[in-house]
Amino acid sequence: MNKRCYAAFGIMTMLLIAAVYLNLISGSVSIAPDKVFAALFGKGADAMQSNVVTAIRLPRIAAAFILGGALALAGYMLQTFFDNPIVGPFVLGISSGAKLTVALSLIFFMARGNKPGSLFLVGSAFIGAIAAMALVLLLSIRVRSMGILVVCGIMIGYICSAITDLVVTFADDANIVNLHNWSMGSLSGMNMTDVGIMTVIIGICLMASVFLIKPIGAYRLGEAYAGSGGANIILLRIMLILISSLLAATVTAFAGPISFVGIAVPHLLRGMTKTSEPGVMIPGCFMLGALVTLVCDNLARTVFAPTEVSISSVTAVLLVPVVIAVMIKRRSRS
């Protein structure tokens, strides 16, 4: 770890604290900071304010933190897997695949008048994510070009989105607005139970990825060198696929597709730390992903308050320039 890494982690920690603070005090209901903290520690005088803070803002912040981190980590793993800097769960259509299966199961259950549980949603999202991933993998065997792979992923994403839209259009249900919001990507409406479930799933993924630090480090040198060094390439590849799919699926199940966090954050982090050590990248991506998502969510809530824009709109506006910059830099270097 170089000095830049320590500095980066220090700055990220401070910014995270700042972002959490900002997200706590800002919102459509204005609550003074001291009241917020009072509510947070259960000493709030106003029941309504306490409720806003503990039941709405706090779960939302936690979800933004966890899901944002998960997205960035998924992006990092996919970039490692494909050895391609411009892939992420959204670009490869994995999020869209998850979105499709979640939408289908939501509508199926809502038509019967009951709401499916979070775990069930995560499960169906995982199936969609894996299905989309499988399709991308099939394509990646046939096409070796980075660009074509990304185009294919986007196509798969569009097809999934189109089907989702179709389903939503003909669903004709009272909850359709809800579904529409979700399918655009939103962190609203989280509760502490959801947060608990996502913490467990993503926590497991994060721990598992820590054990991949060594092989990923070797994998940077390419399959041949990593393999000759003794890394179990097949196991690594399977783990990368499973973990990134599960991460992306979990995010999608709870918050719908959130674009560009997965693809841009690893690059931002490398830019900050000037290293590609997985020991730095894995925790770093998680932290930076959390930070970026917190900031974007804050903007989504506040810029046009009281109207809330979809978080993907914010992430797109903020992060697409990063992606473009990466592509230009690559092009000019090679």
Q: Which chain residues interact with another protein by CB under 8 A?
A: 210-211, 213-214, 217-218, 220-232, 270, 274-277, 279
**Closer residue to another protein in complex, CB, 189/279:** 279
Closest distance to another protein from the beta carbon of 265 (Å): 15
Closest distance to another protein from the beta carbon of 268 (Å): 13
**Closer residue to another protein in complex, CB, 85/116:** 85
CA distance 314 to 297: 8
**Closer residue to another protein in complex, CB, 180/237:** 237
**Closer residue to another protein in complex, CB, 30/232:** 232
Identify the burial level of 72 via C-beta atoms within 10 angstroms of its C-beta, where 0-12 means exposed, 13-18 middle and 19 or more buried.
buried
Q: List all residues 6 or more positions away from 178 whose beta carbon is below 8 Å from its beta carbon.
A: none
**Closer residue to another protein in complex, CB, 145/232:** 232
- Scanning the chain, the segments in alpha helix (DSSP H) are 3-25, 33-40, 47-51, 58-82, 94-110, 118-142, 146-171, 176-184, 192-210, 213-219, 223-228, 233-255, 261-273, 278-302, 311-333
**Peptide bond before 85: cis, by omega within 30 degrees of 0?**
no
Go through the chain and tell me how many residues it has. Answer: 334
Token pair belonging to 165: 């839209």
Closest distance to another protein from the beta carbon of 239 (Å): 14
Q: Provide the b/e sequence for 7-41 (b: ≥16 CB within 10 Å).
A: ebbeebeebbeebbeebbbbbeeebeeebbebbee
**Closer residue to another protein in complex, CB, 173/277:** 277
119 near 186, Cβ under 8 Å? no
Estimate to the nearest angstrom the gap between the alpha carbon of 236 and the chain centroid: 21
Closest distance to another protein from the beta carbon of 80 (Å): 11
Token pair belonging to 296: 């974007």
Closest distance to another protein from the beta carbon of 196 (Å): 29
Closest distance to another protein from the beta carbon of 243 (Å): 17
Reduce the DSSP state of residue 112 to 3 states and report it: coil
**Closer residue to another protein in complex, CB, 186/209:** 209
Query: Phi/psi of residue 269, each to 5°?
Result: -65, -45
Q: Provide the b/e sequence for 125-157 (b: ≥16 CB within 10 Å).
A: bbbbbbbbbebbeebbeeeeebeebbebbeebb
Closest distance to another protein from the beta carbon of 287 (Å): 18
**Closer residue to another protein in complex, CB, 134/325:** 325
Closest distance to another protein from the beta carbon of 330 (Å): 10
